[in-house]
């Protein structure tokens, strides 16, 4: 049996293992087990060009954890809407939040069916966390989804997390409009986190990896920093603003992750006044 056939047999129903999936390629870079031959082929093509590519994935995950700690620990947030949440991996949003307050409510949203399968299994007995399959390009459906309505009180502050998501949303699908619709749906005191692949202009270090991502991942769009900054329109940036991943409220782990490839992505958190 070929590896691909073996993977196809092992795949949960509804999951197409022959088409690479963003969630599963990312899972591979984070040393997860929920990836298949087609995903590993994409990941390997990236690693062939930039052997340290996984650093970026790990640094993105790390900044997400730091932001959740800040949001629960310092900003008093007790509700999360994590869109493009990805496969469950070590240090999920609900785990980090629950270390500080176990009553924190989390809605995970992803359009990849594998996330729903694994999320449901992981969260079967969890009363404060739920996973929803929906498309970020239709925020209204997410906000009006029964599970979102049951889990979140949209009259109280919510942290909307768009970590590693908007660079998978093409211009024609209006990423700025998506961010604005989510911003408008939540009350004052809510927060928006965005991490995003950044086009730094001519950059001999990141150019090959950006070219490989564009070639291998359909719908991948890295954007200039000033374009990403516009996604926070109407919000107040939380210090230190929109910066490279390891510069966002670094802890010891972030300092260890300091690497020139970090120029590849930016992170920003903002508060709705």
135: contact with ligand SAM by CB under 6 A: yes
69: contact with ligand SAM by CB under 6 A: no
Stretch that binds ligand SAM, among 43-51, 134-142, 198-206, 258-266 (CB under 6 A): 134-142
225: contact with ligand SAM by CB under 6 A: no
- Comparing CA positions, the residue from 64, 72, 101 lying closest to residue 253 is 64
The number of helices, as runs of H, and strands, as runs of E, in the chain is 12, 8
Q: How far is CA 170 from CA 37, 176, 223, in A?
A: 26, 10, 10
64: contact with ligand SAM by CB under 6 A: yes
Q: Which of 17, 22, 97, 158 binds ligand SAM (CB under 6 A)?
A: 22
148: contact with ligand SAM by CB under 6 A: no
CB of 108 to ligand SAM, least distance (A): 9
Q: Is the peptide bond before 240 cis (omega within 30 degrees of 0)?
A: yes
Q: Check: CB of residue 157 under 8 Å from CB of residue 186.
A: yes
In 85-145, alpha helices (H): 93-100, 113-122, 139-144
Residue 159: beta bridge partners? 80, 191
Q: Which of 42, 165, 179, 182 binds ligand SAM (CB under 6 A)?
A: 165
CB of 181 to ligand SAM, least distance (A): 14
Both tokens of residue 91?
């240090």
Distance CA 183, CA 102 (A): 25
**Long-range contact set of residues 212-215: C-beta below 8 Å, sequence gap at least 24:** 212/45, 212/46, 212/49, 212/50, 213/46
Q: Check: CB of residue 134 under 8 Å from CB of residue 94.
A: no
Stretch that binds ligand SAM, among 7-15, 40-48, 157-165, 228-236 (CB under 6 A): 157-165
Q: Which of 84, 157, 250, 268 binds ligand SAM (CB under 6 A)?
A: 84
Q: Which of 8, 58, 98, 137 binds ligand SAM (CB under 6 A)?
A: 137
Residue with the two structure tokens 């690497």: 259
Stretch that binds ligand SAM, among 12-20, 118-126, 133-141, 234-242 (CB under 6 A): 133-141
Q: Which of 28, 79, 105, 112 binds ligand SAM (CB under 6 A)?
A: 112
The contact set with ligand SAM (CB under 6 A) reads 22-23, 26, 60-61, 64, 84-86, 110-112, 115, 135-137, 163-165, 168
């Amino acid at each position: 049996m070929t590896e691909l056939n073996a993977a196809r047999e092992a795949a949960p129903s509804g999951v197409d293992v022959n088409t690479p999936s963003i969630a599963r390629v990312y899972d591979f870079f984070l040393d997860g087990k929920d990836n298949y031959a087609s995903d590993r082929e994409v990941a390997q093509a990236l690693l062939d060009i930039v052997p340290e590519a996984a650093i970026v994935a790990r640094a993105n995950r790390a900044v997400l954890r730091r932001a959740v700690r800040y949001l629960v620990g310092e900003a008093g947030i007790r509700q999360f809407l994590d869109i493009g949440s990805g496969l469950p991996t070590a240090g999920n949003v609900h785990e980090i939040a629950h270390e500080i307050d176990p009553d924190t409510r989390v809605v995970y949203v992803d359009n990849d069916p594998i996330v729903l399968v694994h999320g449901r299994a992981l969260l079967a007995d969890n009363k404060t966390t739920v996973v929803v399959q929906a498309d970020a390009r239709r925020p209204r459906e997410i906000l009006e989804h029964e599970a979102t309505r049951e889990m979140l009180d949209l009259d109280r502050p919510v942290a909307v997390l768009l970590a590693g998501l908007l660079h998978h949303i093409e211009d024609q699908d209006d990423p700025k409009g998506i961010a604005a619709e989510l911003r408008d749906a939540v009350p004052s005191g809510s927060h928006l986190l965005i991490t995003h692949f950044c086009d730094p202009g001519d950059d001999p270090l990141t150019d090959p990896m950006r070219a490989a991502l564009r070639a291998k991942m359909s719908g991948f769009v890295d954007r200039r920093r000033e374009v990403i900054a516009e996604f926070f329109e109407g919000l107040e940036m939380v210090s230190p603003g929109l910066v490279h991943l390891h510069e966002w409220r670094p802890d010891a782990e972030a300092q260890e992750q300091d690497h020139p490839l970090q120029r590849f992505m930016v992170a920003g958190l903002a508060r709705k006044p």
